[in-house]
Each structure stands twice: as C-alpha cells, then as structure tokens.
Amino acid sequence: MVEADHEVALEDTDRIHGRSAFVNNVKAAVALSGAVRSTLGPKGLDKMLVDGDGDATVTNDGVTVLETAKVEHPTARLLVSTSSAQDRAARDGTTTAVILTSELLQNSLELVRAGVHPSVILNGYRIALSEAQDELERISKSCIGEEQMRSAVATSLSGKVDSAVGDHLTGLALEALDSISADEGGDDLERLRVKRLRVKDGGAVGFRGCEWSSSGQI
C-alpha cells in the first residue's frame, strides 16, 4: 500500500540521474548566475523587479534579485541559499559567490566529459581552495589607510542604498569602526559586537545596544 501511494505521488514528476542530472544541475546554476551577472562590479547594471502586485524595485544587489525571483529548481534554490548566507556573513560578495559557483560547476562538467572522475575534480578544488586561502593571507594587509577603508565601505554599500546617502552612511560606518577600536584597544573589531543599527522616527539610531539621537543618548 505504501509503495502504491509512493508511485501515485510521483506520477507528475520526472526522474533523472547520472550524467543527465549533473548536466541539468549545471544548466540551472548557469541560468541563475546569468540573472545577476550583469549587476556585478562598479559598472554593474540595475534591474527592475516587479512583484505580483505590480510594485517595482530597482536594485543591483545580487541577493535582493535572487531572493525576489521565484526559483523552483533545487540546485538554483541551493545557490540562492548560498547567496543569502554570504550576505548574512559578510554583507557583500553575494553575486560573486553565485557566479564563481556557476563557473566551477561548468569547469567540472567539462572535466567529467573529458573523462576525469568526480572525486579527482573535488580533490583538485580542495587543493585550489587551500592555495587561494594561502594567497589571500599573503597579500592581506594588517592596516590600511582611511581612504582605502572609505573605498571598501562605499563599494559594499553600492547598490544597497541610494547614492545620495551613500557618502553619509560611509562616514557613519567609519565613525563606528573608530568607536569600537577605541573601546576595545584596537584588538577586537568583531562585527557581531554591533548589536543593533536602526533608524527611528526623529532620526534616532540604535548602536551597540544603545539608542542615540541628535540630542544625545535616549
């Protein structure tokens, strides 16, 4: 009886496996990355998103585009989740994460077609990851100047806020960084120490568990 019910439940589904499933997954990843590829970089293009009610949102923020889209393919949904996780962790790099994943999958498909076993490809990617991490450590800088920090913050805010307020928010972010650095002796700049950051009526802002307005602490 259970087996019969199972077969009925799968009547309207398609089953694919092996090479066909792999190709299908790669195609889904490529299609998803194509939706956000044009938003990447300082010259990235904005996209207009229109919901079911006709409300439009203009943005070049990759995670916003992906989370707004109605994605059904399992692999594509996994990439959307990856982009969202990247956004929560770093508030940046969401589009890059999807595009890099798509490119890695395309490369692996070409290698599989050339006769390379998937386990060999996986091991190669692990080695590449280790090499990339070592290189990032090598070229990283322990201290950068104010202009470089301002540029990094402005890049992260690009596409997330209106350019008219971008400079102001960049300045606020640098002030917050200086405040934490001074409080912690310059040793602990963990992002999660910032408890809240929100705008209230009258221009009040919550910061590190306290709320401030133009007249002082509330």
The reported pLDDT for the residue numbered 40 is 86
Q: Give the mean pLDDT of the chain.
A: 77
Q: Are the C-beta atoms of 48 and 57 separated by less than 8 Å?
A: yes
The CA distance from 91 to 24, in Å, is 30
The reported pLDDT for the residue numbered 8 is 47
pLDDT, tens only, 100-109: 999 999 999 9
> Which residue did the predictor score with more confidence, 11 or 133?
133
pLDDT, tens only, 54-112: 888 888 888 888 888 888 899 999 999 999 998 888 878 889 999 999 999 999 999 99
Q: Report the range of poorest mean pLDDT among 25-39, 94-108, 129-143, 184-198.
A: 184-198
The reported pLDDT for the residue numbered 184 is 53
Q: Write down the pTM of the prediction.
A: 0.67
What domains sit in the chain, N to C, each tagged with a CATH number? 2-139 (1.10.560.10), 146-217 (no CATH)
The reported pLDDT for the residue numbered 81 is 92
Q: Are the C-beta atoms of 106 and 26 separated by less than 8 Å?
A: yes
- CB under 8 Å to 156, separation ≥6 — which residues? 91, 92
Which residue from 217, 180, 178, 215 is spatially nearest to 195, judged by alpha carbons? 180
Q: Are the C-beta atoms of 174 and 153 separated by less than 8 Å?
A: yes
The CA distance from 100 to 143, in Å, is 28
Which DSSP letter does residue 45 get?
A: P
How far from the centroid of its chain's Cα atoms is residue 73's Cα? 19
